[in-house]
Each structure stands twice: as C-alpha cells, then as structure tokens.
Structure 1
Amino acid sequence: MKLKSIFNYILVAILAIQLVSCDNKETLESPFGATPAERLDAKQKELNDLLESSEFGWKAVYFTDVTQLGGFTHVFKFEDGKVDMASDFDDDTSVYSSEYSIELGSTTSLLFSTSNRIHLLSDSNNAPTAALRGKGYKGDFQFLYYGQENGEIIFRTNRSFEELRFVKATAADWTNLAKARAMIPNVVGASSRPLFRLLETNDGSKINQFDFTFTPASRYAVANSIVAGSSFSYNVGIAYTATGITVKPAIKVGTQDLTDFVYDANTGSFNATGTGGVTATIRYSNKPLVLTDDYKPLLPGNPTVIYAYIAANLSTAASNSNFTNSLLNAANASLPSTQKINRIQFYFNDGANGSYIAYTFTGGRSAVYHFVKVTEDPVNKTIKLSNDGWSVATPPTFLQAIDNQLLDPNGLYVKKETFKITYSNTIYTFTSASSNFRLTTYAFQ
C-alpha cells in the first residue's frame, strides 16, 4: 500500500474517533435531554406551579424537634411571589401577607423571604423552656423540595433536614386554627378536673398505664410507665386540632401506631382508636397512679427537713396548679401594693419549735408562723397537718384560704419530682388529697 493511501486511512480513523467522542460527550453532559440548569429551572417552575395550584392553599403541621417540642399548624396560600399565612402559634390566628421565593442551589427550595408567622419558630428570643434559651423553637423558614407523594408536597428543613409535608388545605383549615387554640385548656387540664392524669393503652388483651405530664409552653408530653422498675415511656410532641390533638411520634400500641386523639367533653379525656380493640386514652385520675413514701422524712422523729415555695423562682412553675395560683393571687391582692407573699416555708422536726409553716412577705411585713402537728395516713400515703397554734393572736384572714388547703383533713400527697427549676435543689410538690391545690417547693437538705 502506498504511503499516501495509509495516511488517508489514518486520517479517516482519527476523524471517526473524534466524532464518536463528541457523541459520547454530549450523552454524558445531557443524559436526560436537558442541561443541569434547564432541569433546575423546570423544577423551580414545577414547585411554584404546585404551590399555586391548590384552591385553598396548603396546610403543614410543623414539629420542629420531636425530642422536646410539639407541633404548630400553618396554612398558606401562594400566588405570584406573595403568600398569605396564618398559624396557631398564639391566639393571633389572623392571616398575614409576606413574600416567598423559589431558590435554586444544590436543590430547589421554598424560602419564606420576608417575616411572617412561620418566622416565630426560628426567633431565638422565643425560647419556651430554659433548655432552649437562645434557640427558640428550633424552627426553619427555608424548605428543600423533594417531590410529591399522594397529593402532598414533600420538603426537608434546610437546617435539620427533617421531613415536612404540605397537604392541600380546605376552607375549614383556615377557621380551625382558632378552634385548635380553644382546645388548649382541655389539653392543659381544666381546674374543675382532678390534677392527676394518665395515659392508658389497650392492645386488645392487656391494659398498661403511664403517668402523664404535659408542658404547655413547649407543647410536649411525657408519659412514664407506672410499673415498678420499668423505664418505658412515651415522649411525644402535641399539636392541637379542632377536635382534639395529634401526637408525634405515634403512640405505638401492639403493632398499631395511634396519632389522632379526639376530645370527649363529658369526661375530659382524649381518645385514640385503632382496630381489634386497640385504644389509647389520656384521662383523669382522682389520685396519683403511684403512691410514694416521699412523705415519710417529714414525720415526727426524723431529722429536720425544710421545703420552701419561693415566689421569685416558683410562681410560674408549671407544677403549681391553677387553683393554687388563684389563691396566691387573691391573697396578694388583699395586701398593700408594696407587700406580697414571697415565701411559704415548711419546717418539719425543727427541734423545740416542732413543725410549722412560715409565711414571709416583701415590703417589711412581719413573718407569720402556723405551728402544726404531723401525722400520716399510711394507706393513702399522705401526710396530715393539723392546727397547733399561731405566732399571732389573730391569724391573717388573707392567708386563710391557702392555709386551709395545707391543713386539708384528707392530707397532702408529697412527691419528689425529677425536674429542676432554675437551681439544683430537688423539687417537691405538696398536693391536696381532696382538691386541685398543688404547691411547688425547693428542698433545703
């Protein structure tokens, strides 16, 4: 073969290889028939069209951190970069307008770009508990778009990557926010109902009970098993609805997950129903589920023990009952403006002084002491305080209502609590065995 012919063959081969390489390059760059920028643009339009497609907008129940916080319901109506929004964060369920945008980054996201109700959850000044000081409700206002499923829009939060779903709203969802707010007193517990509450589950063959405590500020509930030695508990965030509550994570009973509890106005209970006899109920009890011996160190013959309600630190304690707060407020209202009850302090077995209740005040008012005899009811595990004289000839009338509760003939339940308030002192509560009186105190030993 001539040299010229060989050269021509080589040239044709090189050209063929280059053409194949170019074809492969195009295939690698555009496997879906569009450039990455084009795909992002399409995703941006897809999300925006979807947001604007629902007649009554969208609803989202936003649980920001199910390890310590409950859920907050928001409704949104999107159009042309504007969003109308309302929430049940507080009693203001009005609709407010602001701006939103669809952002393009590593993925498409929805950004609430100007302030509105959802920003209340990300405000670090809105801390519901001491543990969340500087963190607020740990909320977000930018949500990463992850597609659709069964008519719902799937997002993940930008900071914590938690899933959040938007479901199509109804006209009623906008007005139900106020009804959900009206449910709060029922969840907190009416002052006309017993103080003690429990979660009771039934898997169709066995009933289990759990001591139930709800913290309104964080919308969080803890239910601990009453079985001795058991550490099992349900820790759930609560979201209010027009008919009851929703919990997250679900209450698992047997193999079933229960999330929606309906309020029964007659009994004050919240009921969730599964199948095959599976149920879960939050209800009231006339006495503690677990009767403790926490009162025994207060009985005669033991060393001195001291407990104190200190208004500066404990007046807002969630463990004080509404009834107790009302009695304290009424007593303070009867005093001059410069004087208030600042301590109710219990001394047990204080040497020659015996046992007594010390009432002290601000504004220079002298302390008042009520001496008491201490006995026990070993069956109901209560401590009973009875009159043994006062330090003044005439006991102050403004203290009478509070003092009557502390000297309840049916006794007081004394409980060593597991939580702390401000300081490291152990918390003890004193609860009437026959009324809704419960006072929170620090232990000083």
Structure 2
Amino acid sequence: MKVKNIIKYVFAAFLMLQLSSCNSNTDAEQLFDKTPTERLEVQKSELNDALLASEFGWKAVYFTDNTVLGGYTHLFRFTENGNVEMASDFDDDTAVYKSEYAIQLGSTVSLVFTTKNRIHLLSESDNYPIPALRAKGYLGDFQFLYYGQENGQIIFKANRNNTEIRFVKATAQDWIDLPKNLVTEQNVIGGDSRPLFRLLETNDGTTKHQFDFTFSPVTRFAEANSIETGFSFSYEMGVGYTPTGIIVSPAVEVGGQKLTDFVYNSTDGSFTATGTGGVSAVIKYTDKPLVLTDDYKILLAGQATAAFGFYPDDYTMDATTNSALFYTELERINASLPAGQEISSVQLYFNHSLGNFIYYTFVGRSALFHYVDVVADNTGKKIILKHKSWNGNTTVATPAFLANFDKYLMDPNGLYVKKESFRLVYTNTVYTFASSTSPFRITTWKL
C-alpha cells in the first residue's frame, strides 16, 4: 500500500473517532443539561399529562398499611382547572364529590389533594377503626409522591409512610359498579344464615393445607393460621372489595405463585383465587371449628370458679371473633329497651358460690341472673347450658327483650369454648363462646 493511501486511511479513522466522541459528549450533555428544578418541571408536566389522559379517570385500591388494615377503592377524574371528582367505598357513601388538587414541587413531584374529599377520611387522626389506632386514624395520606409510570399505571408512594399506590385507568363501568363493593363487603362479613366458622384452604397442585380464618370488617383485615400439627404457618392480609370478589395484600403465596384476586361464589359463600397448574386458595365456610379443644373443661363441676365478661363499651366489642349475628342480637336488646336503658355487660359465672349463671347488667335498670346447669358433651367437646331460673324464680319466663339473645347461649346442642391466643389490650386471657348450631359467637375476657 502506498504511503499516501496509508495516511488517508489513518486520517479517516481518526476523524471517525472524533465524530463518535462528539456524539457521546452530546448525549451526556443532554442528560445533564437541565438543573434539578428543570427536571422536576419535566416530571410535573409528565404527571399532569398522565392524570388528564384517561377518559374516565383513574382507580386505586389504597392499602394504607397492609399489616393492620385493608384496601379502600378510590376513583378519580382530574380536570385541567385543578378540580378532581372523587368517589370511594370507604363507607356506605359512594357518591361522587368534587374538590381541588395540585401537582407540587418539593424534593420530588407530588400529587396533593388540597381540599377535603373522600381520600382525607383515611388520614384524619381522630377517625380510627380500633383503639390501637387511636390518634393515628386509618394511616392514610393525601400527598402522593410521583415515582413514574409502568405498563400504563401511575406509580406513587404515600408521603406519610412510603406505601406504594398504583393508579390504573378507570372505565365508565368502574364508576357505575362502585356501590357493588358494598355488596361484596356484606358477602365477606357473611349473613346471619351462613355457618359460623371459616377456613382458608390452599392447594399447591399436589398438597392441600387448611387454616383457621378470621376477618375483621372494621379494619378489613384477615388472619389465617395453620391447624395442622407440624405445619406452622400463617397468613395476614388486608382485604379490598371489588364488584365480583376481593383482592388481598400481601398476596397469598401458594406453590411459588402469588394469589391476590378471589372471586365470590354466591351459592356457598366462598371466595376462590386460581393460579396455574392446579394452584388455588379458597376461603369457605365450615359447620364446626377446625380444631376442637378441651378448653370447655375448666367450666365443669369440681373446677375452680371461672368468670367471663363481655362489655359493649370496651375492647371486647372490637374482637374480630364476635359474629355478625351476635352484634345483631345485641342491637336488638337495646332497641327493645325503653329510652335511657341499654345493656352494659354479659357475664358468665361457673362454679360460683351462688351456682352457675349468666349475669346481664344494664344502664338504667336492674341486673338479671339467669341460673343454669352445666352439662358436659365430652364427645363433641362442648358444654350445654340448661335453664334453671331467672333471679332464682323458677316460674318466671325469659324476659322478652332478652329472649332472642339468650336462646343462643342456651343452645341445646351446646357451646364450643375456645381459649384465644390473642389479647384484647389488657392482660386478661380471652375466651370465645360459640353456638354449635347457629352463627352466634361472643368473645369475653376471663375475669
């Protein structure tokens, strides 16, 4: 090759390297040619465009803290003038309300709901579902920090506790169907005619496991604990309502698959999540406790005095193990009493010096003693309470305002008795009494 050609090729290669270097520098400069404020402005514009881009707005199931609370569905429709229309299934009011919002700049870009609307019900400290959340409310927020977009969803994190919230595009049907979430809520709680006990059954494709299942409507939170010897496992999950069932967070993991969507079956009241390869999880009813214990034996003759109490104005009222029918019958008592009177406790005494009795106390009227005999059903691991007298008078009939409530404690087929593993704020041991033939269940402190 001639020297002149060699020089020509070397020069061309050098020129290409220079041009490549210039392009790289240009790309780098483009990445860093904006100040932090300018980059935030770009994000602000991006978020603003996204909020306005969905014809029917956005939907979010907001799990404020899935270690203690469930999810609350919110629908949002944003407008260019800073207004937002909003609806939620927080309570029975699913109407649409208008308020204001702003996209604000700070250390990051955030969506802030600046005037009061449904989302603020989750952040009010004086609005709390259980005593443990006193002065904390529902742990929610109304300032959402913007974290970008993914698969058509807008990703936020709550400023209060960094919980992730995802906005998905809403449909016209979402707005129409929102009240159906309240129907689902009642299906999750279960009607008075449904069996009392529930279980979660998982199937990993080859093996099934069963878990005792409890749900708190007040917090929308569920717990499921294994009943199998040698298999110690539990699930805790927040529950959110949909028109066709529930979603849970965190997911129920079975066979390496994460199941979040459970579909309701109106025939048997079950909720089923289906994976692949035979993987599933089902929440369903059962007619008796999954595990029968000998806890009833401390109430039998020859044992020490045992006393138990339920108080409507204290923490026993919040026990998730109380049944819907129990609350219904409690309200019925108060509705039947004259104005100014109400029930203040239900206490059960066994092997007392006065005998065995149910002690009903009231505000505005005298207490009532229902004396009973206690019979053991050792095969069914239950106790049967048999009527003796009211206030020691064997000829007096059951007071009409107590008749419906009292009959469940006098179930001729017996009561299951369970010593609970949890506490209700105080150190007292907790016991639950459950009718064996109806969905009536009362949770008490051991006094």
Q: How many residues align?
A: 418
Shift of 1:364: 4.2
Q: Quick one: which amino acid aligns to residue 129 of structure 2?
A: P
Q: Measured at CA, do residues 311 and 76 of structure 1 come closer, stay the same or move farther in structure 2, by a change above 3 Å?
A: closer
Which 10-residue stretch deviates more, 140-149 or 58-67? 140-149
Say which SS state the counterpart of residue 402 (structure 1) adopts: helix
Q: Quick one: which amino acid aligns to residue 194 of structure 1?
A: P
Alignment of 1:6-85 (within 5 A): 31-80=31-80, 81-85=82-86
Alignment of 1:334-353 (within 5 A): 334-351=336-353, 353=354
Say which SS state the counterpart of residue 268 (structure 2) adopts: coil
Shift of 1:321: 2.4
Q: Measured at CA, do residues 183 and 28 of structure 1 come closer, stay the same or move farther in structure 2, by a change above 3 Å?
A: closer
Q: Quick one: which amino acid aligns to residue 215 of structure 1?
A: S
Shift of 1:291: 0.8
> Where does the alignment leave 5 or more consecutive residues of structure 1 unmatched?
1-24
Tell me the TM-score normalised to structure 1 length: 0.88
Question: 2:433 corresponds to which residue?
Answer: 430
Q: Is 1:330 the equivalent of 2:326?
A: no
Q: Quick one: which amino acid aligns to residue 53 of structure 1?
A: A
Q: Quick one: which amino acid aligns to residue 304 of structure 2?
A: P
Say which SS state the counterpart of residue 120 (structure 1) adopts: helix
Deviations 1:273-309 (A, max 9, x none): 1111111100001001111111111011111111123
Question: 1:320 corresponds to which residue?
Answer: 322
Question: 1:416 corresponds to which residue?
Answer: 419
Tell me the TM-score normalised to structure 2 length: 0.88
Q: Quick one: which amino acid aligns to residue 304 of structure 1?
A: T
Matched-pair contact (CA < 8 Å) for 2:223–2:234 = yes
Shift of 1:389: 3.8
Shift of 1:345: 2.2
Alignment of 1:88-99 (within 5 A): 88-99=89-100
Alignment of 1:136-215 (within 5 A): 136-215=137-216
Deviations 1:157-197 (A, max 9, x none): 22222222111111111122111122111011111101101
Instruction: Give the whole-Å Cα distance in 1 for the aligned partners of 2:33 and 2:343.
Output: 77
Deviations 1:120-146 (A, max 9, x none): 111111211111111111111122222
Q: Measured at CA, do residues 35 and 397 of structure 1 come closer, stay the same or move farther in structure 2, by a change above 3 Å?
A: closer
Question: 2:387 corresponds to which residue?
Answer: 387
Alignment of 1:278-297 (within 5 A): 278-297=279-298
Instruction: Give the whole-Å Cα distance in 2 for the aligned partners of 1:115 and 1:160.
Output: 20
Sequence identity percentage = 57
Say which SS state the counterpart of residue 295 (structure 2) adopts: coil
Q: Quick one: which amino acid aligns to residue 414 of structure 1?
A: V
Instruction: Give the whole-Å Cα distance in 1 for the aligned partners of 2:362 and 2:112.
Output: 53
Shift of 1:50: 1.4
Matched-pair contact (CA < 8 Å) for 1:29–1:35 = no
> Where does the alignment leave 5 or more consecutive residues of structure 2 unmatched?
1-24
Q: Measured at CA, do residues 389 and 103 of structure 1 come closer, stay the same or move farther in structure 2, by a change above 3 Å?
A: closer
Question: 1:272 corresponds to which residue?
Answer: 273
RMSD: 2.2
Q: Is 1:371 the equivalent of 2:371?
A: yes
Q: Measured at CA, do residues 312 and 166 of structure 1 come closer, stay the same or move farther in structure 2, by a change above 3 Å?
A: closer
Instruction: Give the whole-Å Cα distance in 2 for the aligned partners of 1:326 and 1:158.
Output: 39
Shift of 1:119: 1.3
Instruction: Give the whole-Å Cα distance in 2 for the aligned partners of 1:283 and 1:228.
Output: 21
Instruction: Give the whole-Å Cα distance in 1 for the aligned partners of 2:325 and 2:318.
Output: 13
Question: 1:258 corresponds to which residue?
Answer: 259
Shift of 1:26: 11
Shift of 1:30: 6.5
Which 10-residue stretch deviates more, 217-226 or 421-430? 421-430
